[in-house]
Structure 1
Amino acid sequence: MADRALIETPATRRGLAGLPVVVWIALIYVGARLITTGFLVLAAQLAGQGTRFGPNATIGDFFLGWDAQWYWYVAVNGYPSVLPVTDAGLVKENQWAFMPVYAYLSQGLGVLLGSWGAAAVAISLVAGFLACWVLFRMLRDRIGDGAALWAVAFFASAPLAAMFQVGYAESLFLLWLLLALWALMRRRYGWLYLLIPLMGFTRPGVLAFALLLGLIGVWRWMHRRTEPLPIREIVHIVALGALAVVVGFAWQVIAGVATGDSGAYLATELAWRRNWLPASDGGFLPFDGFVQGAAFWFGTWGLGPVTGYVVLALAVVAIAVLLLFEPHVKRLGVELRLWSASYLVYLLAVFFPQSSLFRLLLPLSPLWGAAAVPRSTPWRIAVLAACLLGQWWWIYNMYALGNTYWQIP
């Protein structure tokens, strides 16, 4: 009780220990980035022959490695009007898998900073800090200032926190997403008309937000006697849901028009799946990726596809129970719980599980608030230590060793 009183006084809403909250967030974020930089430097020293970056790897190679090269290529060359194909006539990996906002924003800022790479890293760093600030503002009214700061520490130090300082669109997408969730929580619907297109053209995932709006609409309707649902809010929720659906499919339409092939985008995305399933040349079926993935991975591990299906089903049930009944998760509020459910359903529907799955779980970052709720200091320190250990494991595998099909960020 004393801890609760301490973190919820007006003084702490101005700041903790005499410092403004934004200063605390900056200190946490800068400290976390220094640790991540140290991990990347060490990984560069450990990279050897046979790895993607080789024995002379530098931290700069890591900043602009893997998908960062695709975003740079988009900025320099744009998108192909003719899809590249293999000797077998199948669509090859190409730029249409990467949305334009991050690539071209980095290109524009690069004019001032001197290079695309410097601008890409700068955008990731700044977006990551702003995302930390928004996360704190989202959570403080639900779990208190102290716990919200711990959630920021977990978020800034998480196993995938290197995304805050490499040339990937994740950091910028997280900023748009957290702003959108915050606006939804505060019923500031007007901001969503801007944020939904920004999300949709930064990286895939806005269709999950469309599902969230549908679920929020149902939930608000069911609770309209205890929480009034004015007509204007109904109009906003329906209009925004429709906008999210349109934006979610817009890139497929744009790719189809530009290439003359209506299936250009899906064929491009499926080209990456052939890295794991070379014989896969069929079309896209919702939820088929995870079903195939369960069979592939558990078969690779010698456990059999049936075991994979059982584990997948049990995992879905366990996550549903967690989101519905776990008391620390319930403290976060219905919006964040429904977002988590919506995004997980989206991943199940469209993704083939592989090493990039860790990165694709970043939009679930608001759930760090649940990990921060328990007020035991040993617990919070243990979670933070686990984050840092997980971060080193991920950086070591994806950058120092990364070159095999299961070591791709």
Structure 2
Amino acid sequence: MADGALSVAPSRGAWRSLPIAVRIGILYLAARLVTTVFLLIAAELSGVGSRFGDGATIADLMLGWDAQWYWFTAVHGYPDTLPLTDSGLVAENQWAFMPIYAYLSAALGMLLGSWGAGAVVISLVAGYLSCLVLYRMLRPRTDDSTALWAVLFFAAGPLAAMFQVGYAESLFLLWLYLSLWMVMQRRYGWLYLLIPLMGFTRPGVLAFALFLGLFGIWRWFSRRREALPVREIVHIVALGLLAVVVGFSWQVIAGIVTGDSGAYLATELSWRRNWIVGSHDAFLPFDGFLQAVGFWFGTWGVGPVVGYVVFAASVLGLAAVLLFEPHVKRLGVELRLWTASYLVYILAVFFPQSSIFRLMLPISPLWGAVAMPRSRVWRVAVLGLCLLGQWWWIYNVYALGNTFWQIP
């Protein structure tokens, strides 16, 4: 037994002696190998009645769903005339997809031979770099082991397939995590570049504007504990305004190109009509979630009253976790304020359906709180649940994808 203990010690020492970029790289590659196996199995299971049909390949899955929209955007650009349905309403179109990922994938794809190759490489590389930044964000608040376990949960989590498919999530997370890290370090200058990159990669920069506003208020009231120079106030205010401008600029651009000031919102709402028959085409903050309560709880046969009670209890429960849960509190005020800001943003603009799981990726720094209990049994169990959840998600949205709740 003693010999066994001595044999383990050098291996742990060798692991810890590796540069952190190498250790994270090993974990990330292992996670990607598992995801690849899951996708290969899903392709084999794809049948006549599934979205991808009989004989689907892993490439079909990796470049399916919204990846097709990004490809279509890169090839055809954005329409100057909005397409209409037979009933005269705005149809789904490219204006719902931001340009950076689509065109960056096309540029890299010119070197690699196809848009799809460029898209997958960008997702893979951005996912790895996001893991590195996530570790750097968590490390000052916890120990090395906890930060690495959090990175592993992130890299192998239920939505880990996003790191190797043609979606903009990986790239957006990289810009977001870099932005949060810069705020945590009070290095605001980089945000003048990162905020536009974030805003034109995928929607969500308005949540960052709310975060900067809340962060600025917190910095003001905590200025006696940490000095608040005028220069920092100017940066926070200017960056908050920049995030607001960037957040609304895509609507303005779509309006100018199409001649319809409501082009972007009408495009986004065209997807919502797939869920709510007869849904109105006017956007109202928080209306999507309220409509969804009635839709989902009615579908489940429970009734909207119970739904509203569950919804209110869920909001209060999440607020309590962010305010009082000790592991979450250890993450620091910046990550807690970001999580709260993003959840408010989702409540305000989103109609919750199966894509809600994907849209929760930006609050992945909470994996740091999940990893804090030092019990190996706990951590291995969480990792097992992550892999189980990943397979369940891949199986439903890629092997099947044939009903309304199997959309990534």
Structures share fold, TM-score greater than 0.5 = yes
Residue in 2 that maps onto 1:175: 174
Q: How does 1:53-68 map to 2 (within 5 A)?
A: 53-68=52-67
Counterpart residue identity of residue 163, structure 1: M
1:223 aligns with 2:208: no
Per-residue displacement from partner, 1:231-276 (whole Å, max 9, x unpaired)?
A: 0000000000000000000000000000000000000000000110
Is the Cα–Cα contact under 8 Å of residues 90 and 281 in structure 1 kept in the other structure? no
Q: How does 1:201-280 map to 2 (within 5 A)?
A: 201-280=200-279
Counterpart residue identity of residue 263, structure 1: G
1:191 aligns with 2:196: no
Task: Give the TM-score of the pair, scaled to structure 1.
Answer: 0.96
Task: Give the TM-score of the pair, scaled to structure 2.
Answer: 0.96
Residue in 1 that maps onto 2:294: 295
* Structure 1 residue 281, shift from structure 2 partner: 2.6
**Distance (Å, rounded) in 2 between the aligned partners of 1:23 and 1:221:** 39
Counterpart residue identity of residue 285, structure 2: P
Residue in 1 that maps onto 2:334: 335
SS at 1:17 equivalent: helix
SS at 1:149 equivalent: helix
Residue in 2 that maps onto 1:6: none
Residue in 2 that maps onto 1:396: 395
Residue in 2 that maps onto 1:73: 72
In structure 1, runs of 5+ residues without a counterpart are 1-11
Q: How does 1:353-392 map to 2 (within 5 A)?
A: 353-392=352-391
**Distance (Å, rounded) in 1 between the aligned partners of 2:254 and 2:190:** 27
Q: 1:279 to 1:56 in 2, by over 3 A?
A: same
Q: How does 1:29-108 map to 2 (within 5 A)?
A: 29-108=28-107
* Structure 1 residue 226, shift from structure 2 partner: 1.1
Q: How does 1:296-315 map to 2 (within 5 A)?
A: 296-315=295-314
Q: 1:15 to 1:240 in 2, by over 3 A?
A: farther
Residue in 2 that maps onto 1:282: 281
**Distance (Å, rounded) in 2 between the aligned partners of 1:180 and 1:15:** 33
**Distance (Å, rounded) in 1 between the aligned partners of 2:166 and 2:315:** 32
**Distance (Å, rounded) in 1 between the aligned partners of 2:16 and 2:368:** 21
RMSD: 1.1
**Distance (Å, rounded) in 2 between the aligned partners of 1:340 and 1:219:** 15
Write out the 4+ residue segments of structure 1 that deviate beyond 6 Å after TM superposition: none
Counterpart residue identity of residue 73, structure 1: F
* Structure 1 residue 87, shift from structure 2 partner: 1.4
**Distance (Å, rounded) in 2 between the aligned partners of 1:317 and 1:161:** 28
**Distance (Å, rounded) in 2 between the aligned partners of 1:209 and 1:26:** 28
Per-residue displacement from partner, 1:187-234 (whole Å, max 9, x unpaired)?
A: 010000000000000000000000000000000111111111110000
Is the Cα–Cα contact under 8 Å of residues 128 and 171 in structure 1 kept in the other structure? yes
Counterpart residue identity of residue 277, structure 1: I
Is the Cα–Cα contact under 8 Å of residues 15 and 21 in structure 1 kept in the other structure? no
**Distance (Å, rounded) in 2 between the aligned partners of 1:36 and 1:391:** 8
**Distance (Å, rounded) in 1 between the aligned partners of 2:329 and 2:402:** 40
Is the Cα–Cα contact under 8 Å of residues 209 and 342 in structure 1 kept in the other structure? yes
**Distance (Å, rounded) in 2 between the aligned partners of 1:387 and 1:353:** 22
**Distance (Å, rounded) in 1 between the aligned partners of 2:235 and 2:19:** 35
Residue in 2 that maps onto 1:9: none
* Structure 1 residue 15, shift from structure 2 partner: 8.5
Counterpart residue identity of residue 103, structure 2: Y
SS at 1:60 equivalent: helix
**Distance (Å, rounded) in 2 between the aligned partners of 1:306 and 1:268:** 31
**Distance (Å, rounded) in 2 between the aligned partners of 1:17 and 1:246:** 44
Is the Cα–Cα contact under 8 Å of residues 266 and 281 in structure 2 kept in the other structure? no
* Structure 1 residue 16, shift from structure 2 partner: 4.5
**Distance (Å, rounded) in 1 between the aligned partners of 2:170 and 2:286:** 26
Is the Cα–Cα contact under 8 Å of residues 217 and 237 in structure 1 kept in the other structure? yes
Counterpart residue identity of residue 154, structure 1: F
**Distance (Å, rounded) in 1 between the aligned partners of 2:280 and 2:14:** 56
Is the Cα–Cα contact under 8 Å of residues 63 and 165 in structure 1 kept in the other structure? yes
Share of identical aligned residues, percent? 74
1:22 aligns with 2:21: yes
Counterpart residue identity of residue 188, structure 2: Y
In structure 2, runs of 5+ residues without a counterpart are 1-11
Counterpart residue identity of residue 312, structure 2: A
Q: 1:223 to 1:16 in 2, by over 3 A?
A: farther
**Distance (Å, rounded) in 2 between the aligned partners of 1:32 and 1:134:** 17
